[in-house]
Amino acid sequence: MQTKHLIQIDDVKKSEIEEIFALAEYYFQKNKKKVEQKHRLKPFTQINVFFENSTRTLASFELAGKKLGGIVQDIRIATSSIHKGETLIDTALTLNAMRPDLLVVRHSSSGAVNLLSEKVNCSVLNAGDGSHEHPTQALLDFLTIQHRKKEKEGLIIAICGDISHSRVARSNINLLCKFNNQVRLIGPSNLLPYSFKDMGLEIYNSMEDGVKDADVIMMLRLQKERMKGGFIPSRREYFNRFGLDNQKLSLAKDDAIVMHPGPMNRGVEIDGIIADDLNRSVIQEQVEIGVALRMAVLHLLVDRKN
C-alpha cells in the first residue's frame, strides 16, 4: 500500500483494496482458529485518539493493534486536556512528540483528521470524521458483502436512511462505485442530498421502490448528534415509512442480506426481528470481519516503505 494515511476511500487504489482484502481474509481465518499470531511485523506503537464517543470502532482498533503485537494506547478525549483549551494542532504536536507509528483518530468535525495528519510524522487512520468519511467501516462492509454474495461487482445495493449526516454512507458510496455496483440511496428528501444524482446514483424517497430486487440493504441510524433542529416528524412515522420490516424486505431479492454499521435503534430504522434473523442479517459478521480488516490496514500502514 502506497498511501501514508487512510483518511478517505479515494486514498487507496483498486489494486490496494484487493491487497487489503487478501490480508484481511488471512487474519479472518487466523482469528477464527484462535492460534497464536506469528508476528512478522516490526514493533509498533499505536495511539487511538477518540474526540468523539465510540464503542465498537474503538474496541475493534484496539483489539486489531494488540493482536498484531503492537503497543496500543487509547486516549478518550472527554477525559483529556482538550477541555482545558488545547487546540487540535497542539494535541497533534504533543502526540507526535511521543513518536507513535500510527494514530487512529475519530473527530466530530469533517476534515479534522486530515488537518491533524498534516502536523504529524506518523501514519494517520481516520476512524470517522464528522459526516465526511469512515473508510475502514466501508472496507469491512464491502468485505462482508463479498463473503455472503461471492461477488464484488454487478450488485444492487440499497443504502437507506439518514444519508446526509452519514460518513458510513459517503465512504460506502465511494467504495462501491469503484467496483461497478448499482448503488441506490433511499431516504426522506431532507436527509438525502440530491447532489449524489450527479454521480449516477439512483435516489428514492420510497423504501418500497428503492429496495425492490436489491441484493444488499444497508440501514443507517438517524445521526441525531449532527442534526440541527427536527428532521423527522416522529420516530413512529419514520419507522412506518423508512424502517426495514418484513413487508419491505420481501420486495428485495429472496437472498438479500441486511447490514447495519451499528449502533442500531430497533423500531426506528430496523425491526428487531430482522436484525436478529441470521439468514438475513450480517450485522454480527460485520463486527467480526471488522477486526480482521483493521488488522490488515494497520499491518500495511506499519509495513510500508519510508
By C-beta, is 70 or 290 nearer to ligand ASP?
290
Secondary structure of the chain as H, E, C letters: CCCCCECCHHHCCHHHHHHHHHHHHHHHHHHHHCCCCCCCCCCCEEEEEECCCCCHHHHHHHHHHHHCCCEEEEEEHHHCHHHHCCCHHHHHHHHHHCCCCEEEEEECCCCHHHHHHCCCCCEEEEEEECCCECHHHHHHHHHHHHHHHCCCCCCEEEEECCCCCCHHHHHHHHHHHHCCCEEEEECCHHHCCHHHHHHCCEEECCHHHHCCCCCEEEECCCCHHHCCCCCCCCHHHHHHHHCECHHHHCCCCCCCEEECCCCCCECCCECHHHHCCCCCECHHHHHHHHHHHHHHHHHHHHHCCC
Point out the residue whose Cβ comes nearest to ligand ASP: 221
Minimum CB separation of residue 222 from ligand ASP in Å reads 8
Q: How far is the CB of 258 from ligand ASP (least distance, A)?
A: 15
Least separation in angstroms between residue 192's CB and ligand ASP is 16
Footprint of ligand ASP on this chain (CB under 6 A)?
128, 134, 167-168, 221, 223, 261-262
Quick one: 203 or 287, whose CB is closer to ligand ASP? 287
Q: Report, in Å, the least distance between residue 57 CB and ligand ASP.
A: 6
CB of 110 to ligand ASP, least distance (A): 12
CB-wise, 184 or 221, nearer to ligand ASP? 221
Q: Which is nearer to ligand ASP, 108 or 146 (CB)?
A: 108
Residue 102 or 168: which CB sits closer to ligand ASP?
Answer: 168
